Amino acid sequence: MGMDLVIDALCIRGLGPVRLTVPAGGCVGLSGPSGIGKSSLLRAVADMEPHEGRVRLGTMAREDLSASEWRRRVGMLPSESAWWNDGVGEHFLAPEKVRPSVLGLREEVLSWPVKRLSSGERQRLSLLRLLDREPLALLLDEPTANLDEVSTRQVEALILGYARERQVPVLWVGHGRAQLERVAQRVVSFDSEGCLRDADGEACR
């Protein structure tokens, strides 16, 4: 059974208080002006930046877990991925279960050195690496930026399929309104003053 991701009065860097519920198995799209703090919000939810307010996943409150335990449950995909080992496959917990072909990648890519990867390959592999850890919620920071149309649709299908099958809540930050309306059941936006509003302009509560 999936769990809702509940953000309650979260404040960070002058942004907020943010109140938002991402339902189990559902996707909420988040947009807003560049530099307003969308990435910082994701990092705060993942307990990677100082902040005020509360976040819970189902009955699990973030403050009841260590930062590492919380991040294992609430997985974040940053806009730029980090690679700390030389080989691609070394970054996966269960490389034998990974199927790169679902994102249009060659099956042997896991045997490559990281330095051989293009930026698009790194982006898609970072998503596969995150899903390999089986998170219970997803925080996605522009997961298809700089990808072509075919790869974009493959990434969308993989994320939404994972969310639906495992009843995982997804908070998806993006700039393209058309994409957010395609993948999300609800789209919210930060206005220029940092207030989070629904599509009808009403402040989120």
Whether residue 13 is contained in a domain is answered as yes
Instruction: For residue range 100-116, list pLDDT tens digits in order.
Output: 999 999 999 999 999 99
Q: Which two tokens stand for residue 157?
A: 């299908």
pLDDT mean across residues, the chain: 92
Whether residue 64 is contained in a domain is answered as yes
pLDDT confidence of 146, banded at 50, 70, 90?
confident
Whether residue 204 is contained in a domain is answered as no
Are 13 and 37 spatial neighbours (Cβ–Cβ below 8 Å)? yes
Whether residue 41 is contained in a domain is answered as yes
Are 101 and 125 spatial neighbours (Cβ–Cβ below 8 Å)? no
* Cα dihedral across residues 159, 103, 75, 197: positive or negative: negative
In the predicted structure, residue 202 carries a pLDDT above the cut 70: no
Whether residue 187 is contained in a domain is answered as yes
Whether residue 121 is contained in a domain is answered as yes
Of all residues in the chain, what percent carry a pLDDT higher than 90?
A: 78
In the predicted structure, residue 147 carries a pLDDT above the cut 90: yes
- Going by their DSSP bridges, the two strands 5-12 and 15-22 should be labelled as antiparallel
Are 92 and 98 spatial neighbours (Cβ–Cβ below 8 Å)? yes
Number of domains in the chain: 1
Identify any residues that bridge with 137 across adjacent strands, giving them in sequence order: 74
Instruction: For residue range 49-82, list pLDDT tens digits in order.
Output: 989 999 999 999 999 999 999 999 999 999 888 8
CATH number at residue 55: 3.40.50.300
In the predicted structure, residue 199 carries a pLDDT above the cut 80: no
**How deeply is 21 buried, as exposed, middle or buried, from its count of CB atoms within 10 A (0-12, 13-18, 19+)?**
middle
pLDDT confidence of 33, banded at 50, 70, 90?
confident
Whether residue 205 is contained in a domain is answered as no
pLDDT confidence of 181, banded at 50, 70, 90?
very high
In the predicted structure, residue 193 carries a pLDDT above the cut 80: no
Task: Name the 3-class secondary structure at 49.
Answer: coil
- Give the angle 173-68-50 at the CA atoms, nearest 5°: 60
pLDDT confidence of 137, banded at 50, 70, 90?
very high
In the predicted structure, residue 12 carries a pLDDT above the cut 90: no
CA distance 76 to 65: 17
Which residue range(s) make up the domain with 133?
5-198
Instruction: For residue range 114-135, list pLDDT tens digits in order.
Output: 999 999 999 999 999 999 999 9
Whether residue 108 is contained in a domain is answered as yes
